Amino acid sequence: MFMNYLVLHVNRHKTTGKQISSPPPEKKIRRCLACGAEDMKPRRRYCSKHCRQNLLWTLSLCKGLLLTLGTRYAAFSFTENFVVLDILPTWANKISRFVYKRKQGCPPAHSLKELTLQAGNEWYNKRNKQISRSFASQLILEEKMETNCTPDSIKPNAKKVPMLSADHKKSLKRLNIGVESLMFGDNERKIKKAYKGGDEKKFREINAAHELMLQWIEDPKFQSNEGLPGCWSYNGYKNKWSPPLWQ
Q: What is the pLDDT of residues 176-229, one digit of tens each?
A: 887 777 766 566 666 666 655 556 777 888 888 888 888 888 888 877 668 888
Distance CA 139, CA 126 (A): 8
CB atoms within 10 A of CB 206: 19
Residue boundaries of the structural domains of the chain: 49-158+229-242, 164-220
What is the pLDDT at residue 187?
A: 60
Q: Could you tell me which residue, 226 or 123, shows the higher pLDDT?
A: 123
Alpha helical stretches, state H, 46-159: 49-68, 108-127, 133-143
Residue 1 has pLDDT above 50, yes or no: no
How far apart (Å, rounded) are the C-alpha atoms in residues 45 and 234? 19
In this prediction the pTM is 0.68
Amino acid at 193: K
Q: What is the DSSP letter of 90?
A: T
CB within 8 Å of 198: residues ≥ 6 apart: 206
In one-letter notation, the amino acid at residue 9 is: H
Asked if residue 87 lies in contact with residue 98, where contact means CB atoms within 8 angstroms, the answer is yes
pLDDT average, residue stretch 87-107 = 94
Residue 61 has pLDDT above 90, yes or no: yes
Inter-CA distances, 51 with 61, 70, 112, 161, 230, Å = 16, 29, 14, 25, 17
CA-angle at 164, arms to 199 and 51, nearest 5°: 105
CA distance 156 to 20: 42
